[in-house]
């Protein structure tokens, strides 16, 4: 009797383990497909980000030569601060682009 109950319990446990293994395999296949989709979209996403950053217009034109130099130092400081943690977020990249547009416009003027 105990042997029969143990066998029934083992069969039930094996069925559960098999179902979990199949579910894990399906999830792994789904994640693999999702990763492949991300990888295929990455080059276009990167190009869009670069285009967006390069199209940022200056929003604070330096009034004179001294202000233009200060704007350039502000740009360098912003880059240094953004890269200090070895990670560049989208917000930091946008800030660098804005500071760069302002510094470039000031130095050209």
Domain ranges of the chain: 2-108
pLDDT of residue 108: 86
What's the burial of 95, exposed, middle or buried (CB within 10 Å: 0-12/13-18/19+)?
middle
The length of the chain, given as a count of residues: 109
Taking the chain (109 residues) in runs of 10, the rounded mean pLDDT of each run is 75 90 95 93 88 87 88 92 88 89 88
pLDDT of residue 73: 92
pLDDT of residue 21: 94
pLDDT of residue 77: 92
CA angle 28, 30, 32 (to 5 degrees): 70
Is the separation of the CB atoms in 58 and 108 below 8 Å? Answer: no
Is the separation of the CB atoms in 68 and 103 below 8 Å? Answer: yes
pLDDT of residue 80: 93
pLDDT of residue 1: 73
């Amino acid at each position: 009797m105990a042997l029969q109950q143990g066998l029934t319990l083992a069969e039930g446990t094996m069925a559960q383990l098999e179902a979990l293994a199949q579910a894990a395999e399906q999830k792994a296949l789904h994640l693999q497909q999702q990763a492949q989709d991300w990888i295929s979209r990455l080059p276009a996403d990167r190009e869009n980000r670069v285009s967006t950053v390069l199209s940022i217009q200056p929003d604070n034109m330096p009034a004179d030569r001294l202000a233009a130099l200060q704007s350039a130092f502000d740009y360098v400081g912003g880059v240094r601060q953004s890269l200090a943690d070895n990670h560049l977020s989208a917000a930091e990249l946008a800030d660098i682009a804005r500071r760069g547009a302002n510094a470039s416009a000031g130095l050209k003027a």
